[in-house]
Amino acid sequence: MTPLATITDLDGFGISHNDDILAAKLIESVSSAVREAAGCPISRGTWTITIPSEQSRKLDLPCRPVTSVEQVLIDGEETTDWKLLGNALYRETLWGPPGAIPRAVTITLTAGYDPVPPDIVRLVCSMVAAGLSQQENGGPGADRSKAYERIDDYQIGYRQGGSEIIDATELPEATKRSLRQRFGTPGLSIGVFK
């Protein structure tokens, strides 16, 4: 899968780097973390996914935005009695039998953005810049994020536990939540489609 940003994007944001190989590896790593947090690839592509059926006429798709659905299989058998509306598939009958084990729904779809949204490219480049800076200062774990530094009776205190930053390219929890809300599957469907 192609990264969400490129070396050219780094240059465009004025992020200096001496080692193109390191920069490319950081771009790849951060792109993977962003996709993981988002719960989908973000960039446009054709994907085949398998999700459990729901006892509903609506089946939310885990990738956004969906531009087309090429094929739908329920327990390995093709079905054509569905309609794509937005980022969900609808059908007249339930996707899964009531009170039974969910069925495997395999969907081949085209989804994602082309081009990648500019704010996502900037996010990736910003995290890569943090990783490049950290690498220049000894690499991950070398500077364990000072919490405080005192001059008189010299002391240095470091962050510990959940607030400790080991790798500068790690996405903050708020960013992960934001990516999941924007690109991921909505949590719960309640309404007339049951």
Higher pLDDT among residues 151 and 35, named by residue: 35
Tell me, what's the pLDDT at 153? Answer: 84
Q: What is the DSSP letter of 159?
A: -
Q: What does the mean pLDDT of the chain come to? A: 89
Measured from the Cβ of residue 49, the count of other Cβ atoms closer than 10 Å reads 14
Measured from the Cβ of residue 63, the count of other Cβ atoms closer than 10 Å reads 23
Reply yes or no on whether the pLDDT at 194 is more than 60.
no
Reply yes or no on whether the pLDDT at 193 is more than 60.
no
Tell me, what's the pLDDT at 154? Answer: 86
Q: What does the pLDDT look like over 142-185, one tens digit per residue?
A: 555 667 788 888 888 776 665 556 688 999 999 999 999 999 86
Q: In the chain, what percentage of residues exceed pLDDT 70?
A: 87
| Burial degree of 30 (CB within 10 A; 0-12, 13-18, 19+) | buried
Token reading at 156 = 């240095």
| Arithmetic mean of pLDDT, 49-59 | 95
**Type of residue found at 78:** E
Q: What does the pLDDT look like over 97-120, one tens digit per residue?
A: 999 999 999 999 999 999 999 999
Q: In the chain, what percentage of residues exceed pLDDT 90?
A: 74
Mean pLDDT check: name the lowest of 40-54, 83-97, 144-158: 144-158
| Arithmetic mean of pLDDT, 7-25 | 97
